[in-house]
Amino acid sequence: GAMQVLEENWGIVEDEGPPDLLTVLKHLMPSRAPQSSPDAAPAADSGNRTGRARRQGGPRRRDARTDAQIKEAFDALRETSQYKEMFASRKRLPAFSSQEEFLGMLAKSRVVIVVGETGSGKTTQLPQFILDSLILSGQGSKANILVTQPRRISAISVSARVAAERIDDGSVGYTIRGESKQTERTKLLFCTTGVLLRRLSTGDNFADVSHVVVDEVHERSVDGDFLLLELKELLSSNPTLKVILMSATINHETFVRYFDGAPLLSIPGFTHPVTDKYLEEFIPSLDYKPPAARQGKKRDDDEKDDYDGLDQRTAGAVKALMRADRIDFQLVAATVNHIISTADKRGGILVFLPGVQEIRQCLDLLRASPAAGQATLYPLHANLSSAEQRAVFASTSKWKIVVATNVAETSITIDDIVYVVDAGKVKETQYDTDSGLTRLVEQWVTRAAARQRRGRAGRTQPGTCFKLYTRAQERKMAPFPTPEILRVPLESIALTVKAARETEDVKAFLSRAIDPPKVVAMDKALAVLEELGAIDQDGNLTALGRHMALLPVDLRLGKMLILATVFQCLDPILTIAACLSSKPVFLSPMDKREEATKARAAFVVEKSDLLTDAHAYDEVIRLQTEGKPASFIRNYCDEHFISASTIRDITSLRQDLHAALLSTSLVPPGSSPSSPALNTHRGAPTLLKALLLGALYPRVARIGLPRGALKFTQLAGGSVQRESAAKEWKAVDMRGARVWVHPASALFGESKWASGVVVSFARVETGKVFLRDVTEVPLYALLLFGGQIQVNHVAGGLTVGGREGVLRLKAWPRIGILVQQLRCVTILTVR
C-alpha cells in the first residue's frame, strides 16, 4: 500500500514533496487500535505474580469463591493473633473514630469527600473499611476497589503496608506503569493515577469496579484533575460506581462544589502543638556566618522593617537570603547542627528541600558537619527504590535526619519526626504557551504547603518548625498552589480525551475541569498534536494518534517507538527512548568536567548524543553478556564516567517499554526487544537518525555560518586570506529564532556540520535557548519525515514545514540526488 502511494506521488515530487510520514503510516497501520480482550492475557496462575507483560489494570479475573466463602476466610483471618496484633495498632488511628460515619455517608451518597490530617489513616484505613463492610455484609465478590496514588513510590509502599495489615491474604495489590502485582483474589488495588487514566482512555466504563478512591486530590496535579473530570462523567454512565475523594485539609470546599455538594467527612485529627521559629528569630544563635550581603537590587516588595535584635549585618544578610534564587546549604546545615547541639530531647529531624540535587548537596555538607557523628542521614524523594525509601521508617539509636522533597509533605508519614527544617522552596514546572518551553523553576512554597510541612513536626509529640524564611516572607507567599492544569502543556491530556471520546470536542470537555485550562493552552495542545501527526487537519484522530494514546510514555517517545516497530529497528530505539526517560548516561562531576568530556568523546558516534548514549549502553551490556565480573563492569563504568545506576534504569525501562508495546499489540506476542524480525535495520544509523527526526519533528534547527562570517584579509604578497570570523555556527529553529547547542552536548563546538540540520529532544531556557540531546540528521530525513516541502523556483531553494514554522534550505540543486536517496531508504525499509 505504502509503496503504491510513493510511486503515485513520485511524478510531482518537486511540487509537493514525497508523501509525509502520516501518509506512509496510514497505509501501514490498522485504523482501529487492537481491542484489549481478557482472553488475550496469559492465563493467570494462582499465586502472586509480578507480571510485567500483564495487561495493566485491565479487566481482572473473577474470584472463584462465593460471597459466603470470602466472608468465611475473612472471619478466620480476623481470629488470627497476627491480625489482632495489627488491628490493635490500627485502631489507634484517628480514622477509626470516623468509620461508622464514613460508611453511613457512603451508603447514602455516590460521592464522599474525606479530609484529615496527614497520618490520620485515610490512605491505609478507609479503603479497608469499604472492603470489610462489603465482605461482612455478604457482598465480598462485588468488591473491586481502586485507590489512586499520585506517585509510583507511594502506590507500592502503601499497598505493602495494607497487605501487611491484612496478613498478606492476597486481597491487596498494586499496579504501576510496567509493573503489577495482583491475583484474582485482589479486591483492593493501589494504582497510579496514570494507570487509571489509560484504562479510561480505552473506553472502559469501569463496569466491574465498585469504588474508586482518589487520594491526595489537594495536590491538584493535571492527572488528578483530569481523573476527577472523567469520574464525574462516569458517574452518570455507570450507575453503581461510587467515588471517594481524599484530601489533606487544604481548599476542600473546591471539591464539594465540583461534586454538587457531596457530603464532607472531616476526620478529627489529633496533633500536638508545633512551635514556629522564623529565620530572624534563630539566626543569631546559629554557628553560621552569613555571606556578606551583596548589594542586590532593591526590590519593590522589600520590607522596610528592620529586624529587632539583629545587628545590621545579620539583618542585611537575612534580606539577601530572602532575595537569593538559591538555597544556602550552609544555613540548612547550621540549623540542623543547632538543633542537635541545643535540643533537650532527641527526635527525628525532617528537612524539606526542593529537589534531588539539593538533597545530595545538603547531605554532603551534613556528612562533613559535627552532626554527622551523632546522626543517621536519609534522603527521601520519589526517585528512590522502595528499599531505599523503607529505610526512612527504620528506628535508629542516633539522631534521625531525613532530607526530603515535598513527598514528605502529605503522602509519606514518618512517625518519629519532632523537628522540621523548612527551606521554604519548591520546584515547579512553568510552561510558556508562546514558545512551547517548559521550565523548572525554584519558587517559594505556598502558605498551604508551609503549613503541611510544619505539621509533620507534631505527629506524635510537641515539636518545633524552623523556617528558613522570615515572617515577612511568609506573608508574601501565595495562599494555595496554582493547579497544574493551568501551567503545563496539555497535548498528552488532549490526546487522551480524543482517544477516549472521539465525538467529543476536546476543548468543550476540558472546559468542564475544576479549573478549566486557558483556551490558548488548549489550542496550542491541539496544534502540537497536529504537528506530531496524532490528529489530522480536521482534528480527527489518526491511526498514529490512536496508537500513541495507548503507550504510557511521552508522546514523542511513543511515536519514536511506533516508528521503530514499523521500520524494524526496535532494539536501538528502545535504548534511546529509555535513555531519554532516565538520568544522563554519562556523569559529569563538577570538579572533573574536562576528564569526563574526554571520556565520553571515546564513545561519540554519528554526531548524535542519543546514539552515543545508546553506544555506551551497548558496550556495558556487551561486557555483561560476555560474563565479566560485576567488579570489572563497575570499574569500567567509573573509568569511563558512565553511571552504572542509569544503565540499570535503562535496562528496566527497556523492559517496561517493550511490555507496553506488547500489550498494545505493536509487536507480536512472545517477541523480545532483540527479536531479529523487529531488528532488520538495527545497524543502519542513517535510518535511526531519520526516525529520531520523525519522532521529534518539529524540534529541528538549521545550523549554518552567520551572514558576513567570512573575513578577507589582504596579505603582504597581494594574496587574500580567507578566514571565518565567526567562532560559533549559528543555529535557527523552525520559528526562525536563534538557538544554541547546549555545552553538555557531544556536538557542542562541532566544527564540521555536514547537513546542517539537527534535531533535539529538549529545549531549555537559561538566558539563551539551549538544545539538549542533539542529533545531526541527513537532509533527506527532513524531507521524508518533516513537514510539507515547498520549492521556491525563483530564489532557488526550498522550505520544509507548515504552521509550525519553516526551515529554508539551499538544497535545490541537490534535490534530485536526495530524492534518489529517499527512494532507496523507503524501498529498503518499508515492506
Q: What residues make contact with Mg ion under the rule CB under 5 A?
A: 122-123
The interface partner of residue 496, options being Mg ion, ligand CDP, none and the CB cut-off 5 to 8 Å by kind, is none
User: Other C-beta atoms within 10 Å of 107: how many?
Assistant: 10
Residue 94 Cβ, how far from ligand CDP at the closest point, in Å? 8
By beta-carbon proximity to Mg ion, the closer residue of 157 and 745 is 157
By beta-carbon proximity to ligand CDP, the closer residue of 248 and 468 is 248
Site for ligand CDP in 40-99 (CB under 6 A): 93
Task: Please identify, among the stretches 71-79, 121-129, 182-190, 648-656, the one whose residues bind ligand CDP according to the rule CB under 6 A.
Answer: 121-129
By beta-carbon proximity to Mg ion, the closer residue of 123 and 679 is 123
Residue 161 Cβ, how far from ligand CDP at the closest point, in Å? 4
Q: Are 181 and 57 in contact (CB under 8 A)?
A: no
- The answer to whether 348 contacts ligand CDP (rule: CB under 6 A) is no
User: Other C-beta atoms within 10 Å of 405: how many?
Assistant: 20
Amino acid occupying residue 36: S
By beta-carbon proximity to ligand CDP, the closer residue of 153 and 200 is 153
- The answer to whether 171 contacts ligand CDP (rule: CB under 6 A) is no
Total binding residues toward ligand CDP, as defined by CB under 6 A: 15
Residue 492 Cβ, how far from Mg ion at the closest point, in Å? 26
Q: Are 477 and 218 in contact (CB under 8 A)?
A: no
The interface partner of residue 787, options being ligand CDP, Mg ion, none and the CB cut-off 5 to 8 Å by kind, is none
Q: Are 70 and 138 in contact (CB under 8 A)?
A: no
- The answer to whether 153 contacts ligand CDP (rule: CB under 6 A) is no
CA triple 386-390-396, angle to 5 deg: 155
Amino acid occupying residue 481: P
CA triple 485-489-493, angle to 5 deg: 70
- The answer to whether 121 contacts ligand CDP (rule: CB under 6 A) is yes
Rounded (to 5) percent helix, strand, coil in the chain: 45, 20, 35
The interface partner of residue 116, options being Mg ion, ligand CDP, none and the CB cut-off 5 to 8 Å by kind, is ligand CDP
Where do the H-state alpha helices sit in 607-684? 609-625, 630-639, 644-663
- The answer to whether 120 contacts ligand CDP (rule: CB under 6 A) is yes
- What are the grid coordinates assigned to 386, written together? 522502595
> In the set 119, 140, 150, 170, which binds ligand CDP (CB under 6 A)?
119
Q: How far apart are CA 705 and CA 724, in angstroms?
A: 9
- The answer to whether 158 contacts ligand CDP (rule: CB under 6 A) is yes
User: Other C-beta atoms within 10 Å of 26: how many?
Assistant: 19
Residue 73 Cβ, how far from ligand CDP at the closest point, in Å? 24
The interface partner of residue 415, options being Mg ion, ligand CDP, none and the CB cut-off 5 to 8 Å by kind, is ligand CDP
The partner residues of 212 in beta bridges, in order of sequence, read 146, 243
The interface partner of residue 569, options being ligand CDP, Mg ion, none and the CB cut-off 5 to 8 Å by kind, is none
Write the CB contacts of 343 (distance below 8 Å, at least 6 apart in sequence). Answer: 419
Q: How far apart are CA 189 and CA 173, in angstroms?
A: 5
By beta-carbon proximity to ligand CDP, the closer residue of 152 and 702 is 152
- Please give the order of strands across the beta sheet that includes 797-802: 788-792, 797-802, 805-809
Write the CB contacts of 48 (distance below 8 Å, at least 6 apart in sequence). Answer: 170, 181, 183
- The answer to whether 732 contacts ligand CDP (rule: CB under 6 A) is no
- The answer to whether 157 contacts ligand CDP (rule: CB under 6 A) is yes
By beta-carbon proximity to ligand CDP, the closer residue of 177 and 459 is 459
Q: For residue 660, which of 579, 584, 560, 761 has the smallest C-alpha distance? A: 560
> In the set 71, 122, 456, 546, which binds ligand CDP (CB under 6 A)?
122
By beta-carbon proximity to ligand CDP, the closer residue of 189 and 610 is 189
Chain-centroid distance, C-alpha 82: 38
Q: How far apart are CA 753 and CA 543, in angstroms?
A: 36
> In the set 415, 595, 728, 765, which binds ligand CDP (CB under 6 A)?
415
- The answer to whether 455 contacts ligand CDP (rule: CB under 6 A) is no
Residue 99 Cβ, how far from Mg ion at the closest point, in Å? 16
The residues of the shown chain that bind ligand CDP, judged by CB under 6 A, are 93, 116, 118-125, 157-158, 161, 413, 415
